[in-house]
Amino acid sequence: MLRKMVFTSIAGCLLAISAMGAEVYVRVAPPRAVYEQRGVAPQRGYVYQRGYHRWDGNVHVWTPGVWVAPPRPRARWVDHRWEHRRDGYVFVEGHWR
């Protein structure tokens, strides 16, 4: 029982920390975006989310773009991006508007 409570407490703390969305600064600038051919949308109304470089702790890794269905009518996708700040580069998650 005690082991289960400790595990649950640790899991809750990790979830709370990840939900805070702490910014991670990367000193290495991301490379230029990779050119991708989008192809044809799988269904009418789908939106293409362009690929982006993510930081894996050691190096930037390309994540390819995908076609997705918007969550609601007339929703617009704002792409993922890297922002240059004083201490390095910060990844800003894409989101729906």
Contact predicate 50/33, CB 8 Å: yes
At residue 77, φ and ψ (nearest 5 deg) are -90, 130
Q: Return the residue matching tokens 């009418």.
A: 44
User: Which amino acid belongs to residue 83?
Assistant: E
Q: Taking the complete model, does pTM exceed 0.85, yes or no?
A: no
Run of H or E residues at 73: none
Contact predicate 65/48, CB 8 Å: yes
pLDDT at 73: 94
14 three-class SS: helix
What value does the mean pLDDT of the chain take? Answer: 85
Q: Which residue has the higher pLDDT, 67 or 5?
A: 67
